[in-house]
Amino acid sequence: MSKLFGKPISQNGFGIFRTMLKYKLGERLKQLVVAKKFFASTQLCSSCGFKNQEVKGLNKLGIRTWICPHCGTEHDRDINAAKNLVNYYETQSTSATGGIHARGDCVRPETDMGLLTAVIDEPRKIKEHVSV
């Protein structure tokens, strides 16, 4: 069946997963923040915000580390993307709730930690549950 309808079936599966995730987070009074489709998480320097076009494209996936030409910070591709997605979450949740964020000191309103707390704590809880 996936050979006939491969793309629609896979998109539907992910759509259902997203719907379930949003529902479960809503039960816990949490918020799901979805990054835009073309958000350049691997290209943006998480330190200064410079967009490096040299790491863009499918043929550039082999570039695992890169140095920002603007500020000189060395980035691992995946870790940099994760930092940029956390920054994206913080800006989106701040604009949605009107809250104030202070970087580095964990000075945030309690209701604003939503998805970030769920994402950080869930693997730890699952690992503890499985090892018991």
Instruction: Give pLDDT tens digits for 16-54.
Output: 888 899 999 999 998 888 888 888 888 899 888 899 888
| Model pLDDT for residues 53-83, shown as the tens digit of each residue | 888 877 788 888 989 998 999 999 899 999 9
pLDDT reported for residue 28 = 92
Q: Which residues lie below 8 Å from residue 92, measured CB to CB, with a gap of 6+?
A: 33
pLDDT at 110 over 60: no
pLDDT at 102 over 90: no
pLDDT reported for residue 74 = 92
Domain ranges within the chain, ordered by starting residue: 1-30, 33-131
Give the model's confidence band at 3: pLDDT under 50 very low, under 70 low, under 90 confident, else very high: low
pLDDT reported for residue 128 = 56
pLDDT reported for residue 103 = 47
